[in-house]
Each structure stands twice: as C-alpha cells, then as structure tokens.
Amino acid sequence: MRTPIEILNEIYLQLEKADLIYEMKSLKNEASHHPMPIEFIGEIGSILLSMNRKKKVNQTIGHLIKEYIEIAQENGINPQPSEFYSIEQKRFEIDGKNFNDLKGFYNAIGNQLVENNEWGKNWNALKDILHGGFIKTEYGEPFLLTWKNSELSKIKLQDFNDIVDLIKEHRHIELELK
C-alpha cells in the first residue's frame, strides 16, 4: 500500500504531464501550508475532491484521487470537497490607462485583489495582498494577473520595474503584461 505522499507525488507528475499547471500549483501551495500529517491528508483530500469535479482532472488523476481518499478514510479522515477551492484559475486585470501614479496603481490592484479595496495602500501592504487571503483569493492561491497597457505604465510609473519584480517574486501569480 502506498503512502499519501507517494500518491501525491504521482498526482503532481500526472497533472504536469497533462498541462494542468493551475491544479498542480494549487495542490503544492496547500501542501506547503500543512505540516501536520492528519491536517495535511484531510486538506489535500478536500482539494482533490473539488478538483475531481473538473472533467480533465477526473480523466487524468481520478483513479489516484480515489486511491488517496481511500487511504485517508482508512486513517479515520473523511475529507469533504473544499468550499474554498476554485475549479478555474482566478483572473484579475488592471489597465495602465486607468492610473498615472503609484497611488492610482494601489487603487487599481486593490480593487482587483481586496474585498472593498480596504488595505494599507503602501509597499509593505502590497506585498501582503499579493500573497492572497483577502477574500478574493486564498493565501498563496495561484491566479493570473493581466496588466493591460503595461507599456504606458512603464512610462508613467517610476516604480514600474520594482512592482513587476515584486509580483514575479510571488510564484503563485502568473503575470501577463499586455
């Protein structure tokens, strides 16, 4: 009988092979936040059950999810589908035409990532909201951020390169400059 970690490692490989990168990143993110074995097995099981609702995931790793859940249940853990996992990668968009300075950028990004745009609107707070966990995304949840008219922002924002570097430091964020 295989361990949950062995099954999970095979799941990572199969997801990557099937180009289900969002799903792989979501699982790895969840796994990195749960060092306790029982909590780990339950939370990963919950994510897997939610992922399994997606046809391509089910076809690719459905049998591995079933095996993982059976092992969890044998260990007294009965995972339920996660109510927080988003089946599709979340997408957010800002437009460089809508702001001319750092304050405007903070408002634009906050409108996308933070419920009611209530946050500190400074560099340290920006680092925090990029991590997630502010209602619109879970902490470390992979998402796509599209920055339309980024060339215009590059001209207008003296901090443009620093902002882009900061966003790229957050590996769960896929940044698309348009």
Q: How many C-beta atoms lie closer than 10 Å to residue 47's C-beta? A: 22
- What is the distance between the alpha carbons of residues 75 and 70, in angstroms, rounded to a whole number? 9
Residue 76 CB partners (closer than 8 Å, separation 6+): none
Q: Is 82 left (phi over 0), alpha (psi -120 to 50) or beta?
A: beta
DSSP code for 117: G
CA distance 28 to 5: 12
Architecture of domain 90-177: 2-Layer Sandwich (3.30)
Q: What digits encode the pLDDT tens for the residues 29-88?
A: 888 876 667 788 998 999 999 999 999 999 999 999 999 999 999 989 999 998 878 888
Per-residue tokens: 162: 């620093």
Location of each CATH 3.30.370.10 domain in the chain = 90-177
pTM: 0.77
**Could you read off the pLDDT of 118-176 as tens digits, one per residue?**
999 999 999 999 988 877 888 888 999 999 999 999 999 999 999 999 999 998 899 99
55's tokens? 């046809």
